[in-house]
Amino acid sequence: MAVGIFDSGLGGLTVLDAAQKRLPEMEFLYFADSAHAPYGVRDADDIHDLTQTAVRALWDRGVDLVILACNTASAAALRRMQEGGLPPGKRVLGVFVPLIEALTERQWGDNSPPREVAVQHVALFATPATVASRAFQRELAFRAIGVDVEAQACGGVVDAIEEGDMILAEALVRSHVDALKRKMPDPQAAVLGCTHYPLMADVFQDALGAHVRVFSQADLVADSLADYLTRHPDMLGSGDAGFLTTGNARKVSDRATQFLRRRIAFDPA
């Protein structure tokens, strides 16, 4: 029995790692659409179609619940997939909800009107496609008012991480933080709106300053998944655990092993 985790590349491994630590008895089937990564520079229709294809591949392997461990896919495809109707007994969840729960200190089931929250100035770092979708701002507006969100599209960061060039990734992060701070000099909180970015969390924190609270998704999503499965134990599915990629399996395996610092072997999807 396995839960599916989907990402355009390797960023979702940060979610997988946290989920495995939070739910050590749970099995996971990870799908990386490496042949088409990164998604963050694609248009919304393309992202939707690629995400739908990958999720269907996971369903075909017996998975009932799929986590879109990709903010770009969550932003551009999730709502459209849900509104278009899912097959009976299948569910797809995104990664924005746990983040907004933490930021606003409200439970997602709290359907009271939006209200003022403690954090008023938020920096959002995300891919160009996620920024363009304004999905984070839309979901946040359902439960909080008076929050000023300044979004910074972090072009190039995902590509550098996927290629293992962490020196370039660090330089790009610092450049993007500088650009954000020119627009919002004193953010109270920063949201790392891409599952690749936790790998650079220390760089974001250093560039922003110790006084800025940095929200990273992996642990938040893992806790939310544990809660969801407690309430919906029927969503465990019948699929087997493993790692799949549409890219070069050997190359992706090597990169994944570097990411998690343990041997990861991907099979062709």
Question: Which residues are designated catalytic?
Answer: 70, 194
**C-beta of residue 52 within 8 angstroms of C-beta of residue 76:** no
- Nearest of 194, 182, 210 to residue 124 by alpha carbon: 194
Query: Residue 57 half-sphere exposure, CB side, CA atoms within 13 Å?
Result: 20
Please list, in sequence order, all residues whose beta carbon lies within 8 angstroms of the beta carbon of residue 241, skipping any fewer than 6 positions away. 2, 27, 28, 29
116: β partners:
145
* Tokens at 186, concatenated: 């004193």
Task: Determine the Cα–Cα distance for residues 211 and 117; give it in Å rounded to an integer.
Answer: 18
Strand partners, 122: 149, 189
